[in-house]
Amino acid sequence: MDGRSVSDQHLLPYLTWLGPGEIERYQRFIRPQRQRQFLLGRILLRSLLGQTLNVSPPDIPLSERPGSAPLLHGAEAKPHFSLSHSGDWVACALSEQTPVGLDVEVLNPQRDLLALSEQALDEDETALIRGLQGEARVKMFYACWSRKEALYKLTSADVSASGQHCVNLSHPDISIVLCSASALVSVPALKSFNWPAG
Domains and CATH numbers, the chain: 1-78 (3.90.470.20), 80-189 (3.90.470)
Question: By CB neighbour count within 10 A (0-12 exposed, 13-18 middle, 19+ buried), where does 116 fall?
Answer: middle
Amino acid in position 102:
L
pLDDT tens per residue, range 26-71: 999 999 999 999 999 999 999 999 999 999 999 999 988 887 888 8
Residue 183 confidence class, pLDDT cut points 50, 70, 90: confident
Residue 169 has pLDDT above 60, yes or no: yes
Residue 110 confidence class, pLDDT cut points 50, 70, 90: very high
CA 153 from chain center: how many Å? 9
Q: CA nearest 102: which of 83, 121, 88?
A: 83
At residue 197, the pLDDT reads: 62
Tell me if 142 sits within 8 A of 91, measured CB to CB.
no
> How do 165-169 and 100-106 pair as beta strands?
unpaired
Higher-scoring residue by pLDDT: 189, 32 = 32
At residue 184, the pLDDT reads: 84
At residue 163, the pLDDT reads: 64
CA distances, 12 to each of 36, 85, 104, 185, 198 (Å): 10, 19, 24, 38, 9
